Structure 1
């Protein structure tokens, strides 16, 4: 079976790692290839990684708003590749990929990781995406929390599967001590930082990093030798830099921008913090736990499925800087508990969030799709997309873990 992933990659980040992790863990009868929109050339980092790992990867020449050109090229590429299943990632691939795949009778599986509401324009595209998901053959939600949102968007329950992201425990077996020194070097020598709190992610409003900055003020009153470092870029940088200056945190809260070395820094942090207002299933939480680092995070989306409160970290309400600070300060002041939580987090990743389990769940899903010939016959006899579910269907009560089969192991 030839699986083609369609994405709009702008960097080699969490979603891209998940796509490649799945491809690497599927058995030999599955072949995986990758197509990406150009994104003004920013797709190259992902394509380089794809090819380095031995997979076929190509970028499309056409792009939005030239919709006809995109659909013509995408249809031709999928036909030439003899794709059996199209997996789409994010709103542009979901919408345009559905149309191209329908022309060929190829089943489409969208992977729903969450919606960012980064700005007004993105919010409009994401509204279209929620409507579009109703007409895809399957929607994979990366968490039970995200599945609730997908169902609320009107996607029929029998088309929704929960398959958790995988964690890369093996990648953190032998941390490089040089990155411990480098992590501490981000702070001025006269600050005497003894504990480093790390955060990572896109600098976007839904990620809540302004809340973390406010929490840092409270933490430093109780733990004055703490330093905060954030890896990631985004539209919020200038605003966050201004808040850091206004709160007197210059030199103590450092925005280091995007790094390809996050994996090397993570094991040397004392604590990882996720202050998000919304999440699908946060890769940072998975990777921090895989690295053996305790996590303080907001209890939103799929985060409680990753972090076991009181066992592998602490969960707090979103948008509450003082409660976030309490969780951070309590663990910074208790090395023994913090380190025990890190060890427990690593064990949790090994038992519940593996790429092997993820690949097995996807195999069941692919088997449930039927053959491409069956789909082609269905498209020929049914020219209209399926009707959206009735309001009664959309409002029907659901139970966690009952979003259709297959699912990965749940928490």
Structure 2
């Protein structure tokens, strides 16, 4: 198959959807498929793709009506004769669906790692008449989309993210690097510093833990618009020594492995890569019970699920596992076993490849 992965994310941005895209593209290329990544020139995406020797083309769109980008896409379609285009953003989906009607007949698949459409007229035409399918990483998103009554059975397909823990991940030594006391319990979290991620709730839970005498230390990796606001919240509570922001971290796995507990207080997610990676490394996870997290974790067995948007619930979840190291280790071992058996990278590639082959072998009717 000749496959174009198209993603118009801004040059300096990088997230879970882009991480999945590069993983999927690389995995399919290893299996002999022709892969091209369309993205902004000199973007983080292009650099990540090129580091894996994937072919890239400078095709991306600033708006839904980006004429120069549209023309570049037409040239790419003529040059590579793609069978399938995988679109990461809604504008990619809209523009690609028009382009294939002018040049070639590639199937257009929208990939939604988060809920990107709602039951509104502006989405109905393109997503029911112009594309060939939607893949998502969460059964909850599939259920939401199917509730619209727009799509025929099988049009929305769940393909879970995948993760295989690399060998030899070294643990980051938080205690030495930050001069922590020997009995410190290290909590690590990672994600964009945006309202979706719920870090203000984490800060409030940290305050509650501090008031009750727990020796908890929180470290947050990531960058975003809310950093100043979040740091001010920490200062206002006198928690500067207990909650620290690490900024962008290129490779978070050593930090995950070096922590005692991984925390994700998100208000909503698709299938959170960060949680999957922490579980794959055998880490006890305390996360909010949203979307894909509920599909990953069985509460009390391989992690802890807590009510979203509640600092009290998050504090209670952290307290639940902070008291007993054996409980944390048992949950971590169960989590790692689950990822190996049900959410490996190769299983994800298997499912994705089978889906694409099936799409090419039959013509889907769209309502």
Same fold (TM over 0.5): yes
Partner of 2:3: 3
Q: 1:192 to 1:288 in 2, by over 3 A?
A: same
Is 1:149 equivalent to 2:144 in the alignment?
yes
Higher RCO (C-alpha under 8 Å, 6+ residues apart): 1
Partner of 1:175: 169
Contact kept, 8 Å, 1:223 with 1:333, in 2: the verdict is: no
| 3-state SS, counterpart of residue 154 of structure 2 | helix
Pick the aligned partner of 1:14 from 9, 13, 16. Answer: 16
C-alpha distance in structure 2 between counterparts of 1:132 and 1:214, whole Å: 42
C-alpha distance in structure 2 between counterparts of 1:60 and 1:250, whole Å: 44
Is 1:158 equivalent to 2:157 in the alignment?
no
Q: 1:155 to 1:215 in 2, by over 3 A?
A: farther
> 1:12 offset after TM fit, Å?
4.6
C-alpha distance in structure 2 between counterparts of 1:65 and 1:133, whole Å: 14
| 3-state SS, counterpart of residue 102 of structure 1 | coil
Residue deviations 1:240-263 (CA, integer Å, cap 9, x gap): 111111111112111111110212
> 1:102 offset after TM fit, Å?
3.2
> 1:154 offset after TM fit, Å?
5.1
C-alpha distance in structure 2 between counterparts of 1:200 and 1:186, whole Å: 18
Partner of 1:30: 33
> 1:327 offset after TM fit, Å?
0.6
Q: 1:148 to 1:61 in 2, by over 3 A?
A: closer
Contact kept, 8 Å, 1:223 with 1:329, in 2: the verdict is: no
Pick the aligned partner of 2:264 from 269, 274, 290. Answer: 274
Pick the aligned partner of 2:282 from 272, 289, 292. Answer: 292
Partner of 1:398: none
Residue deviations 1:344-375 (CA, integer Å, cap 9, x gap): 11110000001222122222222222369x79
Partner of 2:111: 111
For structure 1, the 5+ residue unaligned runs are 117-122, 379-385, 388-411
Q: Give the structure-2-normalised TM-score.
A: 0.89
Contact kept, 8 Å, 2:289 with 2:306, in 1: the verdict is: yes
Pick the aligned partner of 2:311 from 321, 328, 335. Answer: 321
Partner of 2:188: 198
Residue deviations 1:258-315 (CA, integer Å, cap 9, x gap): 1102122111111111111111100011000011101111111111111121111100
C-alpha distance in structure 2 between counterparts of 1:331 and 1:260, whole Å: 28
C-alpha distance in structure 2 between counterparts of 1:211 and 1:79, whole Å: 50
C-alpha distance in structure 2 between counterparts of 1:66 and 1:145, whole Å: 31
> Greater shift after overlay, 76-85 or 296-305?
76-85
Q: 1:128 to 1:199 in 2, by over 3 A?
A: farther
Partner of 2:134: 139
Partner of 2:233: 243
Q: How does 1:6-405 map to 2 (within 5 A)?
A: 6-9=6-9, 10-26=12-28, 28-38=31-41, 41=42, 43=43, 45-60=44-59, 63-64=62-63, 67-104=66-103, 105-115=105-115, 132-135=126-129, 136-153=131-148, 155-156=150-151, 157-169=153-165, 171=166, 173-177=167-171, 179-180=172-173, 183-184=174-175, 187=178, 189=179, 194-222=184-212, 224-370=214-360
Give the RMSD, CA atoms, in angstroms: 2.6
C-alpha distance in structure 1 between counterparts of 2:205 and 2:95, whole Å: 41
Q: 1:300 to 1:224 in 2, by over 3 A?
A: same
The structure with the largest helix share of the pair is: 1
For structure 2, the 5+ residue unaligned runs are none
